[in-house]
A and B are shown apart, each in its own frame.
Chain A
C-alpha cells in the first residue's frame, strides 16, 4: 500500500515539474511577479516527493517484502534505526533522496529570493526543473524504488553489514545536501548569465547557498572518512580511492568558488571564473554520481551494475554540460576589462588560491578518470594508488601553505605586506620546531621538514590572527585555522604512525623491542542480528601504561558476512587502534595494531573548517 502511494506520488511529482516548466515559460515575459501557479506546483512537487519518500520509509519499517527494494536491502531482524537508514542505503532509495533534496532546495530558493529580479528567479527555477525532470524520469524508468514482486518473499536479503553503522546512516543525507546544494548554484549561475545578472548583487545572493552546500559537503566527507577509519579496519582516514576522490573534486571546486565569489562580491571581477566554477561543481557532483552508480567504480556504493543507468546519467550529464557551455558562450560578456591587478593584493592571492586548487583538482581528476579511460580504449586494467597523488600534491602544498599564510593579510586592490619582521620571526620559529621534531627521522628529512615548517608557519600565523582579530572576520579565521591544524595533524600523523601486523592464536603473545601484545581470551555474545566474537588483548609498550583493547568480529545472519569492528583507545595525543580478522578454518587470527598520533585532531580540524562556513552563513543571514 505504502509502495503504491509512493509510486503514484512520484508520477504526480513528475507532472508537477512539467507543469512548473510550462508555467514558468508562460510567465517569463509577463509582468514582474511570479505567478501563483508556479509557486503552487513547485510546492506540490516537493510535497509529493516527500510523500513518496515517506512511503518508502514506511515500507522499510513494516518490512513490506512485496517491494523489491525492501526485499533486496532489508531484513526483519534488523534494528529499526537501520531499517530506516536502509531506505537510502541503496541505489533506488538514495536517488529518491537526491530528488527530495533537489525539490526541497528549489522550493526554499523561491521562498528566499523575493528581493531578486524576477527573470533571474524564473530562469533559475526553469533550469532546476530541467534537472529535476531528468531525475524523475531516471528514477521512474530505470530505478524505481517501488517495484512489486510476486509471490511475496517471507524474508528479505538484508543490508550489507558494514553499512549498519551510525556514521554511515547519516552520511548520505548530509553529503547529498552538499552535492545537491550545488545544483542550485549551477541553475542560478546559468540563470544569472542568461539574464545578465552576474554582478555583486548576484554574488551576495548566491554566497549563502555556496556556504551552506560547502558546509554539508565538508561534513559529509568527514563522516565518510571517520567511518572508513574505524569500520574498514585499515586505520587510515583517506585512501585516494576513486569513490573518495569523486567527493573531494566537487569540494575543491566549491572551495575555489567560495573564494572566487568573495572577489566577485567586493570588486566584481573574476566573473567568468565564478560561472565556470559553478558549472564545474555541479558537473563534478553529477560525474561522481555517474561513476559511483554506474558500476564503473567498484565499492560499497555500487549497489548494482546496470549499464542502462550509467548510460542515462552519462547522456543527461552531457546534455547539461552542453546546455551550460552554450549559455556561457552565448550570453556571457566579459566586462570590466580595465581592472588593474596588482601583484600584492587580495585579488591576486585569491587567484593564486584558485590556481592551486585547480591544479589539485586536475591531479585528482586525471588519477580517477585515466584508469577508466585506458580500460575503455585498450582494455588494460590499471589502478592509480596513493604514491601518484602524494608525489604530485605534496610538493605543491608548500607554496600553497605559504600563500595561504600571507594572502588573507593583504587588502583589496593594492597592498603591502606589513609587519615583515613578525612574519620572518614566525618562519624561523616554525623551522626550528620542525627541525626539533624531525631530527631523529632518517628518510625524507628535507621534504618533511620543509613541509612541516610551512604547516607550522600557517598554523602560527592563523593562530595569531585568531587571537588578535577576534570578532572581525571570525569565520574566515576559524576555517583557515582549522585548515592549518588539519595539515599539521595529517603530516604528524603520517610521519609518526607505527603499526604491527601479526598472526596470533588465543593465548599467544607477540613481542618486539618495546611492545608486547598478549591475546588473552575470546568471548561470544549474541546480538539481534549478529553473533559477536570479542577478543581481549593486553598491550604493553615500554613508554605507556598497559592497556586492554577488545576488537570484535561480527558474524551477521543475513547476509552472512563477517565484519570486524576495530577497538580504538582515543586520546588527545594519539589513537591506539586494533583490529582482528579471522581466516576460515584456521586457528590463527590476523591482528593489526596501530598507533596513530593526533588522529582526533584531524576530525576536530575538519569540524572547525566546516563551522567556519556555517558561522559565515548565519552572519550573512543576520546582516540581511
Chain B
C-alpha cells in the first residue's frame, strides 16, 4: 500500500514523538518529586500536617539565640511574628550572624523544630534572599 520510504518516515516520526513525550513526562515527574518549597515560620505554624518533605525556611536569626557546641549548632529563625527552633550540624557560612537573614534547608520535626541539613551561603552583606525579604515584608 505505502512505499517502504513512507513507512520508514512514519516510523521515524512516531518514535521521535514518543521519545519526546516520554522525556517530557519523565522531566515533569522528577520535577514534582525533587522540588523544595520555601516557607516562612508563620506559614509553618499554619500548616495542617507536618510532612516528611524537604523544605526551606527563611527569616532572621533571632538575637542571642545562637548556641554552638562541638557537634551542632542551635538557633532560632524568626519573621517577627512566629519563630522556629533550628538544629543544625554542618558547614556554617561566613555571613551567618545574629540579626541577619538566613535560609535553612532541611526537615520539620514538628511545627516548632526544624532539623537543617544545609544553611545557604549568601554572597555579600547587603544581600538578602528574596524569599526572606518577602517573608519579612509580610509581617
Q: Confirm or deny: B36 has a beta carbon within 8 angstroms of a beta carbon on chain A.
A: yes
| Chain A binding surface, main DSSP class | mixed
**Of the 9-residue stretches A244-252, A435-443, A478-486, A585-593, which lies at the interface with chain B?**
A585-593
Of chain A, the residue at the smallest CB distance from B28 is A366
Interface extent on B, as a size class?
35 or more
Given A381-B131, A581-B92, A588-B68, A388 contacting B30 (CB threshold 8 A): yes
User: Distance (Å) between the CB of B41 and the closest chain A CB?
Assistant: 14
Cα of A392 to Cα of B25 in the assembled complex, Å: 11
Residues of A within 8 A of B92 (CB): 581, 583, 590
Partner pick for A382 among B27, B36, B94, CB 8 A cutoff: B36
Interface residue total, chain A, C-beta cutoff 8 A: 49
Q: Are A384 and B38 in contact (CB-based, < 8 A)?
A: no
Q: Confirm or deny: A504 has a beta carbon within 8 angstroms of a beta carbon on chain B.
A: yes
Q: Confirm or deny: B23 has a beta carbon within 8 angstroms of a beta carbon on chain A.
A: yes
CB contact list, A523-574 vs B, under 8 A: 553, 559-564
Q: Are A502 and B70 in contact (CB-based, < 8 A)?
A: yes
Residues of A within 8 A of B123 (CB): 160, 162, 299-300
CB contact list, B62-83 vs A, under 8 A: 66, 68-73
Cα of A579 to Cα of B95 in the assembled complex, Å: 14
Q: Are B70 and A588 in contact (CB-based, < 8 A)?
A: yes
Q: Are A501 and B66 in contact (CB-based, < 8 A)?
A: no
Given A232-B121, A298-B130, A579-B91, A584 contacting B27 (CB threshold 8 A): no
User: Distance (Å) between the CB of B14 and the closest chain A CB?
Assistant: 15
Residues of B within 8 A of A582 (CB): 94
Residues of A within 8 A of B30 (CB): 388, 391-392
Q: Are A581 and B35 in contact (CB-based, < 8 A)?
A: no
Q: Confirm or deny: A407 has a beta carbon within 8 angstroms of a beta carbon on chain B.
A: no
User: Distance (Å) between the CB of A594 and the closest chain B CB?
Assistant: 10
Cα of A393 to Cα of B80 in the assembled complex, Å: 41
Cα of A299 to Cα of B123 in the assembled complex, Å: 7
Residues of A within 8 A of B125 (CB): 559-561
Q: Are A381 and B94 in contact (CB-based, < 8 A)?
A: no
Partner pick for B124 among A233, A381, A553, A561, CB 8 A cutoff: A561
Cα of A563 to Cα of B93 in the assembled complex, Å: 9
Q: Confirm or deny: A363 has a beta carbon within 8 angstroms of a beta carbon on chain B.
A: yes
Q: Confirm or deny: A114 has a beta carbon within 8 angstroms of a beta carbon on chain B.
A: no
Cα of A500 to Cα of B114 in the assembled complex, Å: 22
Q: Are B71 and A388 in contact (CB-based, < 8 A)?
A: no
Q: Confirm or deny: A195 has a beta carbon within 8 angstroms of a beta carbon on chain B.
A: no
Q: Confirm or deny: A503 has a beta carbon within 8 angstroms of a beta carbon on chain B.
A: yes
Q: Confirm or deny: A508 has a beta carbon within 8 angstroms of a beta carbon on chain B.
A: yes
CB contact list, A215-266 vs B, under 8 A: 232-234
Cα of A299 to Cα of B36 in the assembled complex, Å: 18
Residues of B within 8 A of A160 (CB): 123-124
Of chain B, the residue at the smallest CB distance from A382 is B35
Q: Confirm or deny: A370 has a beta carbon within 8 angstroms of a beta carbon on chain B.
A: yes
Of chain B, the residue at the smallest CB distance from A396 is B23
Residues of A within 8 A of B130 (CB): 298, 381
Partner pick for A233 among B69, B91, B96, CB 8 A cutoff: B91
Partner pick for B31 among A366, A564, A579, CB 8 A cutoff: A366
Residues of B within 8 A of A521 (CB): none
Cα of A234 to Cα of B134 in the assembled complex, Å: 27
Partner pick for B37 among A299, A380, A391, CB 8 A cutoff: A380
Top 3 A-B pairs, shortest CB-CB distance: A381-B38, A388-B34, A590-B92
* A-to-B contact residues, CB < 8 Å: 160, 162, 232-234, 298-300, 355, 359, 362-363, 366-367, 370-371, 380-385, 387-388, 391-392, 501-504, 508, 510, 553, 559-564, 579, 581-586, 588, 590, 592
Given contacts A382-B37, A501-B91, A583-B97, 4 further A-B contacts (CB under 8 A): A234-B91, A381-B38, A388-B34, A588-B70
A-B contact pairs, 7 of them (CB 8 A): A299-B123, A300-B124, A359-B23, A370-B31, A380-B37, A560-B125, A583-B66
